[in-house]
Amino acid sequence: MVKRAVANHGLDPGKVSPVIGCQEPWHYRNDMEFTFGESGEGEFALGMFPRGYHYELVNIEECFLQSPFVSDFVPAFRRWAQSHGVEPYINESDTGFARLLRIREGKRTGERMVEFVTTDDSEASFQEGRCSARDIAEAAVEFVRGFADEFGKGDQDRQVSSIYWTRKHVAAGDPTTWNEECLWGTSQLTERLHLPGGKRLEFGIHPRAFFQTNTFQSEVLYSTVLKAARLHPDQTSATRPSTIMDLYCGTGTISLCLAPYAEKVIGVERQQDAVANARRNAERNSLDNVTFVEGDVGHVLDEDGELAGVDPELTIVDPPRGGLQKHAIDQLAALAPSQLVYVSCNPDTLAENTAELNDRVGYRLGKVQPIDMFPQTEHIECVARLTRI
């Protein structure tokens, strides 16, 4: 698939290396979201939509993508909610209370966050009556804690470290908001990444914060980025790049991974919450050579932008599936860094953008390394190195 995308845009498919597979293709996900609603038979459901369906859920009895804990916990939480008269939210009629159950896991730390997402109604049906929404949320907390105590029996793999209640507000004409409240445990989930040279990074993850869903394979991805960028632990300050720019940096994970191997890293991201999270994680890891700039990539780089005049030796881009937008390509072409590493979750837009940058600036496509971040799916991540001729 990657070779075909590259060839379709006039590039050399021989540059595509064999895929780096995932050592453990099962139970790898650290984040899953399950939806409340109704099954095709009109029964209470907590599960997922089959491909192409938007209304009829399939109840999940066993999950092979997240940890075995989830296979026990999700059906148990469904039975608790149903037996206590909790009404699932039905989108078509805009009725009900329970929206989502989200489970995030620290694969390196063993921590686990359970998030119960509801509407923002002040009261709802519960135990053949009505009571305050907070009372329902607190009852859910007691069930989760009891489940972990009963089934955990000291087993770290079955522990829960934090429980959130989140009220999601959705109304025509209003922005969608998420009111998150930690009702028990720690306010964030801690996860770690292991990098080449024995380096370790620690991340504090809040309910809405983005983090790669495959922790162990993320370490492979970021190690591949470092390799493509020609960065390694043995470099001295004299041989390290003076400035690296990380565009579309999100919560700053790649920027933070680059920081121990460079003199200075500048991350650019338009999402305000993501930038705030990135700055917190930089402080958490005592990395004072990373700067995060909030703003649109194209605008930040133009002649009146905050980073006008910055001349990075190396630039990393990790755009969304749609790839680099026209104004971003314009500014990247004007910046014309000598070395460019492109991280992509979409081979088609990777190839399309690379071909355009080659035409405009004269970038030569080097190695393209596909990485299987999402086993059991057709999705593929790629890291490509481009060098200006």
Distance CA 203, CA 253 (A): 9
The two structure tokens encoding residue 200 = 């370790």
DSSP state string for 12-45: -GGGBPPPB--S--SS--SEEEEEEEEETTS-EE
3-state secondary structure at position 171: coil
Catalytic residue among 131, 249, 345, 382: 345
3-state secondary structure at position 80: helix
Residue 175 · residue 198 · CB < 8 Å:
no
| Residue 118 CB partners (closer than 8 Å, separation 6+) | 89, 97, 98, 99, 124, 133, 136, 137, 165, 166, 167, 168
Alpha-carbon dihedral 294, 296, 299, 300, rounded to 10 degrees:
30
Distance CA 32, CA 158 (A): 16
Strand order across the 381-388 sheet: 290-294, 265-269, 244-247, 314-317, 339-344, 381-388, 363-371
The two structure tokens encoding residue 339 = 């070395």
Annotation says 63 is catalytic: no
The two structure tokens encoding residue 242 = 């003076």
Phi and psi (nearest 5°) for 142?
Answer: -60, -35
| Residue 93 CB partners (closer than 8 Å, separation 6+) | none
Q: Within 13 Å and on the Cβ side, how many CA atoms surround 245? A: 23
Angle between helical axes of 347-361 and 326-335 (0-180°, round to 10): 50
Active site residues: 345
